[in-house]
Each structure stands twice: as structure tokens, then as C-alpha cells.
Amino acid sequence: MSSQSKPQATSSLPMWLDYLNSIHTSAIDLGLERVSVVAERGHLTKPAPKVITVAGTNGKGSTCALMEAILLDAGYSVGVYSSPHLIRYNERVRINGSELPDEYHTQAFDYIDTLRGDISLSFFEYATLAALKLFQQQKVDVVLLEVGLGGRLDATNVVDHDVSVITSLAVDHVDWLGDDINVIGFEKAGIFRTGRPAICGQPKPPATVPAHADDIGAKFYQTGIQFDYQLTSETTWSWQHGTFKLDELPVPALPLMNANTALMALGAAELDITDVNIVNGLRQARLAGRMQMVEGTPTTVLDVAHNPHSAEYLVNQLATHYPNKRFKVVIGMLHDKDIEETIRVLAPLTQDWYPASLSGPRAAQAAELIQYLPNSGALTAYASPVAAYQAAIGSAAEDDMVLVVGSFHTVGEVLEYVESTQQPGIGQ
């Protein structure tokens, strides 16, 4: 544990983030004992009249963004907590679709640091508690909480939430959750609450998920059973829950499977939302780093897919939207991900790889990626995602596309570079 002195409430956000990263024994420390005590002290366990907590291997951010857009169109004040960020820490807390200035975060950190007394908190626990304080201060109507890791022992699970959501289930975070899908299902189902709605957007989930809902008496809604969706044309889809049906919905820019889950979660939350709010929200919902397009020559696609499950979805989307396109793939990953299988899933997209080293304790070096890449002997290892991206852009033909993939860190570094060079047409 560091002896670094506590910053002032008026100190810079980078100074606070350095402090929070230094004062606990580990960056990830699953368990609710410490964080619960601090949350109770600050009366932070119910930060808004309505709270929806979202867990899942993939799709958490998209599901929250879809719900956020619909709720904003319906006139609600909405707070969203997500992680990790791409470029700025401020991205982790959105109030009505916007980030907060640095000083809001530093004041919240100062409050939590005083509140904790001698209780040690991890970086994520600090961030979560500070976000809950900010939502409370801003008096939002609805809070959408994205679980950081697992569910049962994640810091977000100290909150008294009204609706629980599992978006998808796959093997990931093996170091923390293991490689048994039934164990992973149980950990994520740990956010379910007795007598309250529990939504599962994963078709045919492991048996531990419905079993836990049954054991504790949660109101379980399973896609394909209590609710479902159907693509009716290239641009429209329908959604059904019991006898209630919505037709001619616009296909969103974000994954349709997550829109399906989002609609069930909002319905279960019993909020005042009209069909028009749903249509408008589906059209408006966007999320940085998910099939994000950077127009130019060549066109760049940014996607944070970082495990086989998310990579498979990405490959299918690219094949659908850009058939017969040649991709140059910039890839950087964390070493605790399934690098070999993720690369295998991405391999049909390209023969042109640009492997990049990331920085930080969990980073994989380019050499680690190269051993799983085709034609490994002919590949160049790049020192950073930006260096790999510059090489890919420089060698691309006019009709090629560049895909940046593998990690939030990879996409974040390239996105920051693109923004700093003020290339036009950043969007989705």
C-alpha cells in the first residue's frame, strides 16, 4: 500500500486518479464487505428512484446506451455508470448523455476518501461510490449501472436496484471468474433480487442462472420464452412480450440482441415510455468504440471486441455490411484474454495483420500476438496501437478498410490519435 498523500478536493483529476490507483493492494479486489460499509455510511445504496443494474460478458455498454437513449427521449433524467473508459475517465459517468467536468469527479473522490476513514478501497470501488454520489447530487430519475466484473461480488452490487439484467454469458476474465460457464452464470446471477425482475438476454443460459432466480424468488424473464424479437426486414424488427407486441421498429446501430434485452428491462421497470420514445431512442442510440466508423480514405472501423464471443459478432456484422471488403487489422490485446481463439475468430477477415503492444500490467506484447497469427514470420511488431494504425493506413489501398480491434485500450489510443489529428467524419 502506498504512502502517497491525499490530494485536495481542488487538485487535478489526473492527480486524484494516480492517488486512487496507488493506495490499495490490488486494482481488482472482489468482495462487498469494505465497499458496503462505506456505501451505507454515505447513504449511497439508492442513488435514484429507479436503478437498473446490467451484468454480462458482452453487451453491457450497448444495452445501457439503448436504454439511456429511450429514457432521455421519454423526458427522464438519466445517469449511466460504465467502465472502462476509452480516452477520458469522465466517460465513466454520464448525466443526460453528457460527461461531467473534472471538478465534479475530484469533489466526489474527496467525499468518498473522507467517508471511508481507514477502510481500504480499490480503484473500481472508489469510482463506483463516487459515481453513486454524483448521481445522488444530480438528482437523476433513473440510474443505469454497468457491472465491472462478474456480478455477485462486484462493487455495483451494493446498490438496492429495481431491475437486474444479464446481457450475455461466455467465458472471459478467466483469472477471476474461472472457465466454468455454470460458475460464471452463478456469479452474474448474483445481482438478482428477491421479488424483483431479473432479465436474461442470453438464449439458453447455463442452468445456474434460472436456478438462482428460482432459489431466491426473483421474477425471471428469459429471451426466447417470456420475450423475444424477430428481424422482419433489413431495416425493421418486431419485439414481443406475452400478448404485447411492437412492430416496424427501426434496426439500431447497436446490436439488436441488446435492444431486445433493453426493451424488456425498461418494460419490467414500469417506467412511462411510449412507442414513439422507443422508436426515437433506437434511432439515436450510439456508443463509442462499437462498430464506430471513421470516414476517410481508407475507412476505419473501431470496435472493442476483446474475446471470442464479441469477435464472432463483429465478424458477422462486417461480413453483412461490407461483403468482399479487404480489411487491414490493427490488433492489441490484454494477456489475460483468450488471444489465440479471438484471433482465430477474426482470421477470416484478413491476411494483413498489424499487431501492437499495449502498456500496463495486463498488456500483451505484439510478440505474444504474433505467435498466433498466420504468416507470423513475415509480420512486424508495432510498439503501440497508434504506430500500427499509422502503418495500416499508410499501406492501405483506397478501397480497403482498416479495423482496429482487441481491447478498450487499443481502440482508445487510436481514437485519441484520430481526434487529435482532427480527421473529419468521426462517428458511427
- C-alpha–C-alpha distance, residues 287 and 308, integer Å: 20
- pTM of the complete model: 0.92
Nearest to 92 by CA among 428, 413, 419, 412: 412
- C-alpha–C-alpha distance, residues 80 and 65, integer Å: 8
pLDDT at residue 27, as a whole number: 52
- C-alpha–C-alpha distance, residues 349 and 340, integer Å: 15
- C-alpha–C-alpha distance, residues 142 and 145, integer Å: 10
Name the pairing type of β-strands 78-81 and 93-95.
antiparallel
Taking the domains of the chain in order of start, what are their residue ranges?
A: 13-284, 292-427
The set of cell numbers assigned to 279 is: 422508436
Ranges assigned E (strand) in 203-257: 219-222, 227-231, 236-241, 244-250
Low-confidence ranges of the chain (pLDDT < 50): 1-2, 173-174, 176, 424-426, 428
CB of 77 closer than 8 Å to CB of 139: yes
> Can you identify the CATH homologous superfamily of domain 292-427?
Mur ligase, C-terminal domain (3.90.190.20)
pLDDT at residue 363, as a whole number: 94
Three-state SS string over 8-38 comes to CCCCCHHHHHHHHHHCCCCCCCCCCHHHHHH
pLDDT at residue 178, as a whole number: 53
Q: Say which CATH architecture domain 13-284 belongs to.
A: 3-Layer(aba) Sandwich (3.40)
- C-alpha–C-alpha distance, residues 94 and 78, integer Å: 8
Point out which residues pair with 250 in neighbouring strands.
Answer: 236
Nearest to 32 by CA among 134, 160, 137: 160
The set of cell numbers assigned to 225 is: 420464452
184 residue type, one letter: I
The 10s digit of each residue's pLDDT in 171-182 is 654 454 556 889
Nearest to 263 by CA among 288, 287, 281: 281
pLDDT at residue 21, as a whole number: 87
Name the pairing type of β-strands 401-405 and 219-222.
unpaired
The set of cell numbers assigned to 133 is: 454520489
Nearest to 79 by CA among 167, 139, 160, 149: 139
